[in-house]
Amino acid sequence: MPIAALPKYLGQDFRDASPGMRFGMYLLPVWIGPRHPKKKDPESEKRAWAGCSKLENSDIQRMKELSNRQNALAAAVGNIDRLTLDAQAVAPFTTGLGNEHPLENGFAFLWPYGLPYLPGSGVKGVLRQAARELAADVTDDGIAKWGGDSDWTAATIDALFGKEDSNDAQRGALTFWDVIPQIKGNKLMVEVMTGHQGHYYMEGQTPHESGRPNLINFLTVPLKSGFSFHVLCDRPFLRRIAPELAENDRWKALLQQAFNHAFDWLGFGAKTTVGYGAMGIDEAAAQVREKQARQQALEQLGPEEQMLAEVRKIFEDEQARGQLAAGSQTAQKRLKLLKHALAWEDAEHRKAAATLIRETLKPVPWSKRQKKMGIIEKLAKLETDG
């Protein structure tokens, strides 16, 4: 049997190694021996691919921690200088097939973790191409190629993505982070591509359609896996080179157009021409992220501001659903707000509380019982003192 060129202290049991590590050692259990260096054992090959695709509990935990770290860093940047978009794969995703590997079909792993990822440079390349296509959206007949209006131009592409001309190079205002997929089913998938012309490409025979298919395995991230895209904008730099894009966060609207176009028409990673890498917006994940962002913003407020924000949210939600009534949460929460606001020392907070209570009174007036309890006088006192 062939002997692996590995230090003895590494041992022989690599079951707990990352999928990237196992993929790099794929050939160890496959080849039969030195007398038949080109003959593979099918059963050993099957076990080897199963080992490459499996995610251990430590891998799953590490992927979650990396994703959580990215989310925390993105939240620290703030919403003004960042666009975060949650997507879900609607087809298998693969990338890094051109990386060096004994099987000639590599895969992109993030080192030193040995976990699948989509490089930020790949995200930037796809979105730049999407922007180029949108910038050339109108045909010679004045018809939109992609079925909608686009605000992309060559100048906006240069400002956001940078200039590629070596004689006039300039960095762009946007920075694209690597994407750590949250893999559905906690397991990579093994796909097969079938080459039909091996006799022509490898043996120099005349090409024909009766050649024996050559099955080639490669790794993919399964569909329904989650992808979180984080894009940062250097706004001071953008204001200097293209102030109109920084105004009213216009760069975000443009980037959203590029993402939508990439999801619908381009895809991410490798083999996109045959359907791999297609994605769509993950509405459920976006709602969870928005809720977490609101909660985080709320926790950073003082107790008075937290109470004001809580009552306003309940009021606006019930108003949107048509649920405002005498026994609604709004009617109950404003009584609590009035009680606490009367004891607040800051005049601005007291004034804000009085204004909010007055706003809720338009759709939900005081009840007769509340009026008898002197509620009108308490609100008037709050307004006077505020």
Give pLDDT tens digits for 294-320.
777 767 778 888 888 889 889 999 888
| Boundary residue ending a domain (282, 317, 345) | 282
| Boundary residue ending a domain (282, 311, 340) | 282
Name the β-bridge partners of 83. 231
What pLDDT is recorded for position 33? Answer: 47
DSSP states along 133-189: HHHT-B-TTS-BTTSS-----HHHHHHHHEE--GGG-EE-SEEE--B--B-GGGB-E
Examine the domain organization and report whether 49 and 82 are in the same domain: no
Higher pLDDT, 140 or 241: 241
pLDDT value at 293 more than 80: no
Residue 83 DSSP symbol: E
pLDDT value at 232 more than 60: yes
Examine the domain organization and report whether 170 and 126 are in the same domain: yes
* Tens of pLDDT, residues 83-109: 999 999 999 999 998 888 777 788 999
Average pLDDT over residues 332-342: 90
Examine the domain organization and report whether 198 and 264 are in the same domain: yes
Q: Are strands 279-281 and 162-163 parallel, antiparallel or unpaired?
A: unpaired
What is the token pair recorded at 123?
């995200």
* Tens of pLDDT, residues 34-93: 444 455 667 777 877 888 888 999 999 999 999 999 998 998 888 889 999 999 999 999
In three-state secondary structure terms, 48 is helix
Q: Is residue 340 a contact partner of residue 334, using CB atoms and an 8 Å limit?
A: no
What pLDDT is recorded for position 226? Answer: 95
Q: Does residue 115 fall inside a structural domain?
A: yes
Q: Does residue 62 fall inside a structural domain?
A: no
Cα dihedral sign for 260, 263, 267, 269?
Answer: positive
What pLDDT is recorded for position 1? Answer: 45
Cα separation, 37 vs 26, in Å, equals: 15
* Tens of pLDDT, residues 204-227: 777 777 777 777 889 999 999 999
What pLDDT is recorded for position 42? Answer: 72
Type and span of the H or E element at 155: helix 154-161
Examine the domain organization and report whether 311 and 378 are in the same domain: yes
Residue in 66, 16, 15, 19 with CA at minimum distance from that of residue 219: 19
What pLDDT is recorded for position 109? Answer: 94
Q: Does residue 148 fall inside a structural domain?
A: yes
Instruction: Please provide the average confidence, as pLDDT, over all residues in the chain.
Output: 85
Examine the domain organization and report whether 274 and 145 are in the same domain: yes
Examine the domain organization and report whether 85 and 175 are in the same domain: yes
Q: Are strands 214-220 and 36-40 parallel, antiparallel or unpaired?
A: unpaired
Examine the domain organization and report whether 111 and 259 are in the same domain: yes
* Tens of pLDDT, residues 243-262: 999 999 999 999 999 999 99
Q: How confident is the model at residue 6 (pLDDT cuts 50, 70, 90)?
A: low
> Tell me, what amino acid is at 59?
D
Examine the domain organization and report whether 172 and 220 are in the same domain: yes
Cα separation, 29 vs 40, in Å, equals: 9
Q: Does residue 59 fall inside a structural domain?
A: no
What is the token pair recorded at 162?
């940078």
Q: How many domains does the chain have?
A: 3
| Boundary residue ending a domain (222, 249, 282) | 282
Examine the domain organization and report whether 270 and 316 are in the same domain: no
Residue in 112, 122, 124, 139 with CA at minimum distance from that of residue 171: 124
Examine the domain organization and report whether 258 and 321 are in the same domain: no
pLDDT value at 373 more than 60: yes
Cα dihedral sign for 338, 340, 346, 352?
Answer: negative
Name the β-bridge partners of 89. 279
What pLDDT is recorded for position 300? Answer: 73
R_g (Cα) of the chain, nearest Å = 29
Residue in 119, 120, 10, 116 with CA at minimum distance from that of residue 59: 116
Examine the domain organization and report whether 278 and 306 are in the same domain: no
Q: Does residue 162 fall inside a structural domain?
A: yes
Q: Does residue 369 fall inside a structural domain?
A: yes
For 298, how many CA atoms within 13 A lie in the half-sphere containing its CB?
14
**Residue range(s) defining the domain that contains residue 102:** 76-282
Higher pLDDT, 145 or 330: 330
Q: Are strands 174-176 and 279-281 parallel, antiparallel or unpaired?
A: unpaired
Residue in 29, 26, 21, 12 with CA at minimum distance from that of residue 59: 21
Residue in 336, 329, 343, 357 with CA at minimum distance from that of residue 385: 343
Cα separation, 335 vs 218, in Å, equals: 63
- Count of positions (residues) in the chain: 386
pTM (two decimals):
0.75
Q: Does residue 295 fall inside a structural domain?
A: no
Beta strands in 130-289 (DSSP E): 162-163, 170-171, 174-176, 189-195, 214-220, 226-233, 279-281
* Tens of pLDDT, residues 168-199: 888 999 999 999 999 999 999 999 887 666 67
Residues 6+ apart with CB under 8 A from 327: none
Examine the domain organization and report whether 309 and 338 are in the same domain: yes
Residues 6+ apart with CB under 8 A from 241: 159, 170, 173
Q: Is residue 262 a contact partner of residue 118, using CB atoms and an 8 Å limit?
A: no
Q: Does residue 80 fall inside a structural domain?
A: yes
